[in-house]
Amino acid sequence: MSPIRRAGRTTQENTTDMTDKRHTRDDGKRKPRVKAAEPAPEDVEVEALAGQEAVGEELDKLAAQCDEYLDHLRRLQAEFDNYRKRVQRDSEQHRLRAAEAVVESLLPVMDNMGRAMDAAARHEEGQLIAGLELVADQLRASLEGHGLEEVPVEPGELFDPNIHEAVMTQASEDYEEGTVLQVLERGYLLHGRLLRPAKVIVTN
């Protein structure tokens, strides 16, 4: 005798029947599957054009900013060139005015030097010496008026390498070692700055 099948159906069989019913028409034929709607070509083209216009506008803005920055840099460069030229011109004018003042202050010295030379040509020794002394005093006064100052140094003073230049050394019984024995050439300061050191002979 054949085995008796259980009443009822399995879950898998029920699920299969339900699926078949959803995809089956009343006449028993299978329903065609419905595909998802795709965008029309016209819509895609419109979106692409809109994106291109947005990119173009952004590029235009960036180009305008670049032009603005470039123009600003050009103006700054022109202003700096004008400033540099103005500084050079002012510096040159200041140098010329300073030289003019020095030369003008030395004109009386040249006049007295000419008078002393005339006295020497006439063999007037007294007038020659007086004229040379006058010229020396005027020259010193004129240079001191422009900030020139003589470096203080006399024989017997300690040698100072900051303002003195030892040309040679020499033994001496009158002065201690390391002192100035003789001044060969006077030194000068200009506005407190060493212009030329005094050349001296130092005892060893």
Determine what percent of the chain is predicted with pLDDT higher than 90: 20
- pLDDT tens for 128-150 read 778 788 888 888 888 888 888 98
According to CATH, the topology of domain 44-146 is Hemagglutinin Ectodomain; Chain B (3.90.20)
The CATH number of the structural domain formed by 148-204 is: 2.30.22.10
Mean pLDDT of the chain: 77
pLDDT of residue 152: 87
- Cα–Cα distance measured from residue 202 to residue 191, given in angstroms and rounded to the nearest whole number: 27
Tell whether pTM > 0.75: no
Extents of the domains making up the chain:
44-146, 148-204
If you write DSSP's letter for every residue of the chain in order, what string do you get?
A: -PPPPPSS--HHHHHHHHHHHHTB-TTSPBPPPPPPPPPPHHHHHHHHHHHHHHHHHHHHHHHHHHHHHHHHHHHHHHHHHHHHHHHHHHHHHHHHHHHHHHHHHHHHHHHHHHHHHHHHHTT-HHHHHHHHHHHHHHHHHHHHHTTEEEPP--TTSBP-TTTEEEEEEE--SSS-TTBEEEEEE--EEETTEEEEPEEEEEE-
Q: 95-125, pLDDT tens digit by residue?
A: 878 877 787 787 788 777 777 777 777 776 7
Choose between 28 and 161: higher pLDDT.
161
pLDDT at 24 over 60: no
| CA–CA dist 77, 97 (Å, integer) | 30
pLDDT of 8: 46
pLDDT band at 15 (very low <50, low <70, confident <90, very high): very low
- Helices 125-145 + 41-121 axis angle, to 10: 160
165 pLDDT band, cuts 50/70/90, is very high
Sign of CA dihedral 157, 161, 165, 166: positive
